[in-house]
Amino acid sequence: MRRTWLAALAVTVGAAAVTSGVSQMATAGAPSRSQEGAPSRSPLRWGACPSPTEATLRCARLAVPLDYGHPDGRTIDVEVSRLASTKPAEKRGVLLLNPGGPGLPGLPVPALLKLPQKVRDRYDVIGFDPRGVGQSTPLTCGFTSAQGEVAANPPNPGSAADVAKQAATAKSLAAQCATSKTADLLPHITTANTARDMDRIRAALGVPKISYYGESYGTYLGAVYSTLFPRRGDRVVLDSSLPPEGYDVAALRAQGTGFETRFPDFAKFAAAAPQQYHLGSTPAAVREKYFQLAARLDRESVQGYDGTTFRVVTAGAIRDDSGFAYLAATWHALDTDQPPPGSGDTGGGGAYSDNYPAAYLGVICGDSRWPTALATYQHNVAVDRVRHPMYGAFVANIRPCAFWPAPAEPKVKITDRGPSNVLMVQNLRDPATPLTGALRTRRALGERARMVTIDQGGHVAYLTGSNACGNDAVTDYLVTGKRPAHDSYCPAEPASP
């Protein structure tokens, strides 16, 4: 998520960044159904949006099947937003957005994502809260704030015993989700079903095809949609791609690699101004400061930061160069027992909602079968602590997914069958969705895709970095349909002053 609008989404989700009797769907291989059979159109009735953060948008509610195996059965709601083009004569169609997550609301994104005006002119820009999220029949596991934090980010394990301790916590959290008041929704909160919802949105909008821009987890959602409905996609952009298997245990562990790849950019930044940031005069010294602070905070919290918070904040801030100064100041404050910047902020206020961690778990646990053996996680933690010492053990720890039921339907296999209409864009040094996973998705899509790789760091390439080559590639495709004839590379460009 880009920092420029992450804060606004954080207020919306109300959170810091399944059942044992789940029955199998009647048709096990849902992707083999007649996915291109058009659902009947249900015109959307546009009105005021349910939150003031979407004041510039118009919103509508759409009923969709809870279980696409029984499309005439129970329905749930999906809330949709629209930022209409102001130049109807130039409009091509609709551009659907997804900000990633999973578990993040998409309703405010058309207003928050500052698309170039020429893109805005060409499309009605459409956002939506995915099923289970925000205004779209939301999930809850009944988590307290403390439980929600552990559900999304287990503590850094220092030993096999720590993993065993976390296993007990993870099992308890999974059981709590399985007995929550929305537990009956959990088997159906999957990426495949969200893609099917997208096609219902398309039909309700009355258009034969949709263009799409998805970031991070949104790339997997876009790839699944393009696989299930290959003829319904117009211009599809996947920014910072997950592997073709989606957000599973391997993709999570890959963040250990991504962190190590990206961290030198921050270390170089901080070391260039040692008198300002006080973290060391060489990148090696800044790296050592990370280990010192992490170890200290693992032992005892400082100013409300424990080791987990420190790692999560660091991983989030290095996703965008604009977070470097804030991160350096935070480290220095913790190092000197001072309040970190922004620590006096009251945030969004209001009662805590566990919708983000509940929906996050619902998707990642419901999409994939995670390892179930404690010994597997203890092994992964030991290996990744050595292989990626900065962040590897942290993301290898056991999560509630280990105690989730098997997915209700087979995972969608991303293939190269369909039109050549996908543009992938990827930073070389992405900490959250590393290049290696994106390259595997590129291979899975085959001739359907072209990929633009950019020599810059950070998570999310389009409009976040200063690289004109990468930004123009996406804008040109959305506006004109022009893609590179072959995969291409954008050299590093100097940052804007």
Tell me whether residue 430 is one of the annotated catalytic residues: yes
Query: Smallest Cα–Cα separation from 179: which of 358, 431, 343, 367?
Result: 358
Distances (CA, A) of 457 to 133, 320, 434, 491: 30, 8, 10, 12
Candidate list 85, 216, 241, 353, residue with the active-site label: 216
Report how far residue 77's alpha carbon sits from residue 61's, in angstroms, rounded to the nearest whole number: 6
Candidate list 188, 332, 388, 459, residue with the active-site label: 459
| CA dihedral sign, ordered 102, 108, 109, 112 | negative
Query: Smallest Cα–Cα separation from 467: which of 438, 436, 496?
Result: 496
Candidate list 129, 239, 367, 430, residue with the active-site label: 430
Report how far residue 146's alpha carbon sits from residue 391's, in angstroms, rounded to the nearest whole number: 22
Tell me whether residue 486 is one of the annotated catalytic residues: no
Residue that is written with structure tokens 């369909």 in the block:
418
| CA dihedral sign, ordered 155, 254, 388, 164 | positive
Using N-to-C axis directions, what is the helix angle for 355-367 and 191-205, rounded to 10°? Answer: 110
Write out the catalytic residue numbers.
Answer: 216, 430, 459
